[in-house]
């Protein structure tokens, strides 16, 4: 794509700011990258992103967007909602949200499945591919929002930053939780000695994390089913919060209780953490929308029992 035009502006403006408001489908960071790569010229000369453009300056832009280097795969998707801008899927457990390092890390992920399923895609790091708004751990199932173009991507980024999306989870935890409603607020960051873990105790680079729970029911006088609403979205937030107060999620391999996990495997055949993203509440197209989806079969069997 190539563009040529003359600037009409009463006052000088930073070129990256001017172009990001003019090309609303592209983020400011994307505009900065194409400037750095010499694909934007002012009066036929290459520029830097912090220069200011003036009235009557001539601008030429060449935008080169590559196809994703990640392969599309025909993986079954449980689609909850879809339109031209957005898709919401009910992710299975055992599948990574994004490609990860290592052998076979770029296959059989949600991104691979979405590349096969979707046609119009957002632009991320010079590639056309679906933009997943929020992550779920590999062993967590449930609702994930995916932007299919740059406009929706920027809109969702903005409302997430403002905490204007309500996200609700279902978790099954060890032991009986007696407090019917509760709020957990703490700092969460990297564990000082374990690279895999996050922690609420002496974390590295801590960030505030806020979660709310509500007791839904008890199972076998041993486990509690919780509905959890998160106000922030920190890595492993729900898992760390619950384990830090003595109620780890059953079959959580990192923060859980090994003996309880073994018991749950023998009794219920559950082999992944009992955590499911069940409900999203979001303002979409000037209307409040609520998306609710049922538990996956492995968690549903335990709750129904």
Domains 2-64 and 67-161 in one fold: no
pLDDT at 23: 81
Q: Can you give the residue ranges of every domain in the chain?
A: 2-64, 67-161, 166-304
Q: What positions carry a catalytic annotation?
A: 137
Q: What pTM was estimated for this model as a whole?
A: 0.79
Please spell the DSSP secondary structure of 103-142, one letter per residue.
Answer: TTTTSSBHHHHHHHH-SS-EEETTEEE-EESS---TT-EE
Reported as a single tens digit per residue, the pLDDT across 179-193 is: 999 999 999 999 999
Contact 299, 216 (CB under 8 A): no
Distance CA 70, CA 115 (A): 8
Cβ–Cβ contacts within 10 Å for residue 46, how many?
A: 12
67-161: CATH class: alpha beta
Contact 128, 150 (CB under 8 A): no
User: Hey, is 211 helix, strand or coil?
Assistant: strand
For residue 99, CA distances in Å to 104, 112, 129 come to 9, 8, 12
Residue owning tokens 């400011």: 28
Tens of pLDDT, residue by residue over 163-176, are 999 999 999 999 99
Per-residue pLDDT band at 9 (split at 50, 70, 90): confident
Q: How confident is the model at residue 125 (pLDDT cuts 50, 70, 90)?
A: low
- Domain covering 166-304: architecture: 2-Layer Sandwich (3.30)
> Percent of the chain beyond pLDDT 70?
95
User: Taking the CB of residue 101, how many other CB atoms lie within 10 A of it?
Assistant: 6
Architecture of the 2-64 domain: Roll (3.10)
- Measured distance CA(234)–CA(236) in Å, rounded: 6
Is 241's pLDDT higher than 60? Answer: yes
């Amino acid at each position: 794509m190539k563009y040529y035009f003359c600037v009409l502006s009463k006052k000088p403006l930073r070129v990256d700011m001017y172009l990001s408001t003019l090309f609303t489908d592209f983020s400011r960071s994307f505009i900065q990258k194409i400037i750095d790569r010499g694909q934007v010229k002012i009066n036929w000369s290459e520029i830097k992103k912090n220069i200011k453009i003036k009235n009557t300056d001539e601008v030429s832009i060449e935008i080169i967007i590559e196809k994703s280097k990640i392969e599309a795969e025909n993986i079954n998707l449980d689609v909850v909602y879809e339109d031209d801008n957005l898709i919401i899927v009910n992710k299975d457990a055992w599948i990574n949200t994004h490609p990860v390092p290592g052998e076979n890390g770029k296959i059989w992920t949600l991104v691979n499945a979405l590349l096969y399923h979707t046609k119009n895609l957002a632009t991320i790091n010079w590639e056309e591919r679906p933009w997943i708004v929020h992550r779920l751990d590999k062993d967590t199932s449930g609702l994930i929002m995916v932007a299919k173009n740059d406009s929706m991507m920027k809109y969702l980024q903005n409302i997430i930053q403002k905490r204007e999306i309500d996200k609700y989870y279902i978790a099954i935890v060890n032991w009986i939780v007696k407090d019917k409603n509760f709020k957990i607020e703490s700092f969460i960051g990297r564990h000082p000695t374990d690279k895999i873990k996050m922690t609420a105790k002496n974390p590295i680079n801590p960030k505030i994390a806020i979660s709310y729970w509500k007791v839904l029911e008890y199972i076998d006088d041993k486990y509690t089913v919780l509905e959890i609403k998160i106000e922030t979205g920190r890595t492993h937030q729900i898992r760390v919060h619950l384990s830090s107060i003595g109620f780890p999620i059953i079959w959580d391999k990192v923060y859980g209780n090994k003996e309880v996990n073994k018991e749950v495997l023998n009794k219920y055949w559950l082999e992944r953490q009992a955590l499911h993203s069940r409900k999203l509440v979001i303002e979409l197209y000037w209307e409040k929308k609520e998306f609710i989806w049922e538990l996956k079969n492995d968690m549903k069997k335990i709750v129904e029992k």
